Amino acid sequence: MQILITGAAGYIGSHVVKQLLEETNYEIIIIDNLCTGFENTIKTLNSLDTSNERIKFYNQDLSIWNEVEEVFKENDIKEIIHFAASLVVPESVELPLKYYLNNTANTSNLVSLAVKYGVKKFIFSSTAATYGEPDKKFIPVNETCPTSPINPYGNSKLFSESVIKDTAFANDDFKFVILRYFNVAGADIEEKIGQSTLNATHLIKVAAEAALRKREKMAIFGDDYDTEDGTCIRDYIHVQDLADAHLKALEYLESNPSDTFNCGYGYGYSVKEVIETMKKVSGVDFQVDIVPRRAGDPSTLISDNTKIKTKMNWVPKYNDLELICKTALEWEKNI
Ligand SMILES: NC(=O)c1ccc[n+]([C@@H]2O[C@H](COP(=O)([O-])OP(=O)(O)OC[C@H]3O[C@@H](n4cnc5c(N)ncnc54)[C@H](O)[C@@H]3O)[C@@H](O)[C@H]2O)c1
């Protein structure tokens, strides 16, 4: 059975490919143009493929639609996990069309090819950014919470969700799972892969860089939020638990209808708590400056994960902030 993974040279996609290699027999077709992903990651994934036959890599931009179609013609793709996207929120405000083209237009084309070539299962990387700034009464956020993104990134993902849902409504054979990720963090426990994103803004990666003196200091954006210690609260999910949710989603679609699921642990940590944890696991007391709030940061974003736990039997294994920080730190030492 062949599965297409877009964006597998990146952070989350590479962890999913590693699990697919370890736990399934899929032949894995990868499309990635390496715009934020790394050729080295593909090399590592190839080295984990003991058969040397299960990975086929296309260095291909999803925006060149006729070339993407060739990949479908050359293979027999029946399942897709679609990670490839642009995902830097402030950039999306400055360059909205980059986001609507790379995220929404390219997803629309991929979905159209999926239907044309008889793909049965489509797993989509969506985001908690689709919820925007949920009212306090909706925290923890479940999947019925109104969606109201506050930036073009969130909009581009929500529009993609509509493309996928409307297509499934009109095509009985095309089924989807939309996974709305909360804050993804940490790295492979075996330290084979991790997050290498350049200029990353993710809190735990930035704190790991500060602990290793790769940056002089780091900032907390606002300590006057309506939370216990005044800093924002987020739901951090270890990347391997998130990867597992994708494997569960493939199984789930064997005998269940299309649906949307939150991916988070259902509880949150403040920015200060995360930084303290990174200082503890690294043993380094790096400098942290309090700077003004950033536009568009909701004070608290925590998932209600009841649905994914009950409907997919997803059981998180790594819901431990110290472990998340430790794995991020160990990976950061490698790069
Ligand atoms: N990292 C997070 O915390 C987070 C949170 C919520 C949702 N997501 C979603 O998860 C997905 C993966 O995110 P990530 O953190 O692994 O990002 P990443 O940047 O590490 O990976 C994205 C991959 O897609 C590739 N890509 C991008 N545009 C492409 C194109 N036009 N053609 C071919 N390849 C292309 C990149 O080269 C990269 O390898 C994204 O869809 C993102 O929106 C991530």
Q: Whose CA is nearest to atom 3 of ligand 1?
A: 184
CB of 106 sitting under 6 A from ligand 1: yes
- Is 132:149 a contact under the CB 8 Å cutoff? yes
Which residue from 83, 109, 130, 179 has its CB within 8 A of the most atoms of ligand 1, so it is best to mutate?
Answer: 83
Residue 293 Cα to ligand 1 middle (Å): 26
Q: If DSSP codes are grouped into helix, strand and coil, which group holds residue 126? A: strand
Share of the chain above pLDDT 70, in %: 100
Looking at residue 275, its pLDDT comes to: 98
CB of 127 sitting under 6 A from ligand 1: yes
Q: Record the pTM.
A: 0.98
Q: Which CATH number fits domain 2-185+237-263: 1.10.3720.10, 3.40.50.720, 2.60.120.260, 3.30.365.10?
A: 3.40.50.720
255 pLDDT band, cuts 50/70/90, is very high
CB of 194 sitting under 6 A from ligand 1: no
Does the pLDDT of residue 297 top 90, yes or no?
A: no
Closest CA to 157 of 89, 209, 91: 89
Residue 230 Cα to ligand 1 middle (Å): 30
In the chain, residues under CATH classification 3.40.50.720 are: 2-185+237-263
Closest CA to 201 of 82, 296, 123, 280: 296
Which residues on adjacent β-strands are paired with residue 81? 5, 123
Q: Closest ligand 1 atom to the C-alpha of 106?
A: 31
Residue 82 Cα to ligand 1 middle (Å): 9
Which residue bears the tokens 């925006």? 63
Looking at residue 90, its pLDDT comes to: 87
* Residue 217 in tokens: 């200091």
Does the pLDDT of residue 296 top 80, yes or no?
A: no
Residue 137 Cα to ligand 1 middle (Å): 31
Q: Closest ligand 1 atom to the C-alpha of 195?
A: 20
Integer Cα distance of 11 and 316 in angstroms: 19
Does the pLDDT of residue 288 top 80, yes or no?
A: yes
Q: Closest ligand 1 atom to the C-alpha of 13?
A: 16
The catalytic residue among 26, 131, 153, 265 is 153
* Number of alpha helices (DSSP H) and beta strands (DSSP E) in the chain: 12, 14
Q: What is the mean pLDDT of residues 70-76?
A: 98
User: Does residue 153 carry a catalytic annotation?
Assistant: yes
Looking at residue 295, its pLDDT comes to: 75
CB of 14 sitting under 6 A from ligand 1: no
Does the pLDDT of residue 256 top 90, yes or no?
A: yes
Q: Whose CA is nearest to atom 1 of ligand 1?
A: 184
Which has the minimum average pLDDT: 126-130, 133-137, 328-332? Answer: 133-137
Quickly name the fold that domain 203-233+267-334 has: UDP-galactose 4-epimerase; domain 1 (3.90.25)
Cis peptide bond upstream of 90, omega within 30: no
Q: Whose CA is nearest to atom 21 of ligand 1?
A: 10
Closest CA to 156 of 126, 122, 180, 135: 126
Higher pLDDT, 200 or 18: 18
Q: Whose CA is nearest to atom 12 of ligand 1?
A: 83
Cis peptide bond upstream of 152, omega within 30: no
Residue 37 Cα to ligand 1 middle (Å): 8
Integer Cα distance of 276 and 286 in angstroms: 10
> Containing H/E element for 69?
helix 65-74
In the chain, residues under CATH classification 3.90.25.10 are: 203-233+267-334
136 pLDDT band, cuts 50/70/90, is confident
CB of 181 sitting under 6 A from ligand 1: yes
Span 146-188, pLDDT tens digits: 999 999 999 999 999 999 999 999 999 999 999 999 999 999 9
